[in-house]
Amino acid sequence: MDELEEIRLRKMRDLMAKNIPDADSADTPMAVADSTFEGFVKSKPVVVIDCWAEWCGPCGMIAPVIEQLAKEFAGKVTFGKLNVDENPATAARYRIMSIPTLLVMKNGVLVDTITGAVPKEYIATKLKSYV
């Protein structure tokens, strides 16, 4: 690896660290992008990524539920939001065909997928099994 590549990687890690909240204070979902996805999901033991789009009606319906769950699971689960229109690489990688889709990651590995505007209790029950 040349010196320029090392500098680039160090800068990228620094930028990602600034965008990744401390789990104890993360009671709201954080914006996640293709460039920050890997660092974000590996930064905490349990992470939920809400894959959504601006034009998606069901995504708007589930957004307040995600906000509530982020507060209720603060310190246990870290929530992120990934706009699939703006971040097609991650959406393609995880084969997101329908939105909203929640990606449940444990130690950086996908362990569950929840698709559709499902009830809050359903999501909470699923998450309890991972914390």
Domain ranges for the chain: 3-128
Give pLDDT, residue 24. 43
Is residue 56 flagged as an active site residue? yes
| Catalytic residue of the set 16, 49, 59, 62 | 59
Q: What is the CA radius of gyration of the chain?
A: 15
| Catalytic residue of the set 20, 26, 46, 56 | 56
Give pLDDT, residue 17. 59
Question: Is 3.40.30.10 the CATH number for 3-128?
Answer: yes
Please name which of 94, 107, 91, 113 lies closest in space to residue 43, comparing C-alpha atoms. Answer: 107
Give pLDDT, residue 21. 46
Element of type H or E holding 41: helix 37-43
Please list the pLDDT of the chain residue by residue as tens digits (131 residues): 577 777 766 766 666 555 544 444 468 999 999 999 999 999 999 999 999 999 999 999 999 999 999 999 999 999 999 999 999 999 999 999 999 999 999 999 999 999 999 999 999 999 999 99
Q: What is the pTM of this model?
A: 0.80
Residue 83: exposure state from Cβ atoms within 10 A (0-12, 13-18, ≥19): buried
The phi, psi pair for 49, rounded to 5°, reads -110, 120
Is residue 51 flagged as an active site residue? no
Integer CA distances (angstroms), 29 to 4, 22, 67, in order: 33, 12, 7
